[in-house]
Amino acid sequence: MTGTESPLDSSELILNMGPQHPSTHGVLRIILKLDGERVKSAECVIGYLHRGVEKIGENRTYGQFAPYVDRMDYVAAVSNGLGYCLAVEKLIGVEAPPRAQVVRVILVELNRIASHLLWLGTHALDLGAQTALFYTFREREELLKIFENYCGARLTTHAFRIGGLYYELYEGFEEQVSAFCESFLPHLDEYDDLLTGNPIWRGRLRDVGILTAADCKELGVTGPLLRASGVEWDLRKAQPYSGYEQYEFKVPTGARGDSWDRYQVRIAELRESVAIIRQAVRAIPLGPGMAKVPKVLKPAVGEVYVSTEAPKGELGYFIVSDGTVQPYRVRVRPPSFLNLQALPRMVKGASVADVIAVIGTLDIVLGEVDR
């Protein structure tokens, strides 16, 4: 240091957050340019978990690829599987039987709750509210037990098959699901007691990481983020699939698009999921679980794009068939990837601590971002 420079020179600081940082929810690296505590710009570096899922898809048969999709958003494997099955079913002109559709809705909504619970627990943990994690994981455990009873796996379930269900429901499925719904709503009120009324929690989220509806549309952001920005849009309502038009449920929205609204929207979605499950579990029709599907799938030459409302947003599958047993191209439109793209815009001008809060409310899974 020479004598002419100020001993307290305030140059820009480049801070590397991640990829091995617990609050980045996996292997996300963010290069932050800081002016003191303030973020001047942020750049996401991703790909640490890239496994070439789309390339694998081109080298497997349609049926063989189905278990791989569970490994993308691994906390919502059932939703991934449903999207893929629906896409292939559309391509081969098969519709799952009514029984399968209802069971699929129940399991997907249970999985949505599991995904949101994992988000809530880890998000609260990131912001220093450690207690919530133990509560949310207690409830999530009940859900994983239901998955385990149904198909033997807790996380990467491969619960569905192209054409319907592989497994019949186990004895006592309806009772276990109903009992979960019964106990879960009071637990949601407990979270409210722990977090919603907590002034620190509110202070950490209010007006942090604002994303307007226009930003969302420009950046391709979907799911709870889009709804928190005030856009009442949910694929389950806009373009219903698997019989979602039969169920009554609301699409919760926010107004400001800040982290607080995203928190509130997801909590409200938990209640709506319970409402859907309660309606569905009372109305599981009898009948076959599988449609008639040829043993060897050889869809005609063509292409489809089918998307579903996964817990993180619009999960789409674009499949091109060249008439052989393997897809010519499988493209996954991952909601986490496009939602994460909004991060630099959301944290500009925020403090470093707010970055943690924003990553938390983005609810990304790096397995899906990187594929």
Partner 1 sequence: MAFEEWNGELARELRAGLPGTELEFAEYLGQHRVAAQADNVPALIAYLKNACGFDFLVDLTAVDYPQRAARFELVYTLYSFARNERVRVSTQVAAHAASLTTIFAGADWLEREVFDMFGVVFTGHPDLKRILLPEDWEGHPLRKEYPIAQPDEAWIAANLEML
Tell me the longest C-alpha to C-alpha distance in the chain: 86
Candidates 48-56, 125-133, 140-148, 194-202; binding stretch for partner 1 (CB under 8 A): 48-56
Q: Quick one: CA torsion of 348, 352, 357, 359, rounded to 10 degrees?
A: 70
Q: What are phi and psi of 369, to 5 degrees?
A: -60, -45
Q: For the window 67-96, what string marks contact with partner 1 as x by the rule CB under 8 A? A: -----------------------xx-x---
Q: Assess 13 for contact with partner 1 (CB under 8 A).
A: no
Residues contacting partner 1: total by CB under 8 A: 41
Residues 6+ apart with CB under 8 A from 174: 281, 284
**DSSP state, residue 290:** B
| Nearest approach, Cβ of residue 14 and partner 1 (Å) | 17
In the block, residue with structure tokens 């790909």: 47
Q: Assess 336 for contact with partner 1 (CB under 8 A).
A: no
Among 160, 249, 260, 337, binds partner 1 (CB under 8 A): 337
Q: Assess 230 for contact with partner 1 (CB under 8 A).
A: no
Identify the helix (H) or strand (E) that includes residue 105: helix 98-126
Q: Assess 231 for contact with partner 1 (CB under 8 A).
A: yes
Q: Segment 237-296, which members bind partner 1 (CB under 8 A)? A: 238-239
The two tokens of residue 331 are 């493209």
Identify the helix (H) or strand (E) that includes residue 131: helix 131-151
- Whichever of 21 and 60 has its CB closer to partner 1, that residue is 60
Directed axis angle between helix 131-151 and helix 98-126, to 10°? Answer: 160
Q: Assess 304 for contact with partner 1 (CB under 8 A).
A: yes
Which positions touch partner 1 (CB under 8 A)?
46-47, 50, 52, 54-56, 58-59, 90-91, 93, 217-221, 231, 233, 238-239, 300-305, 307, 314, 316, 318, 320, 328-329, 331, 333, 337-338, 341, 370-371
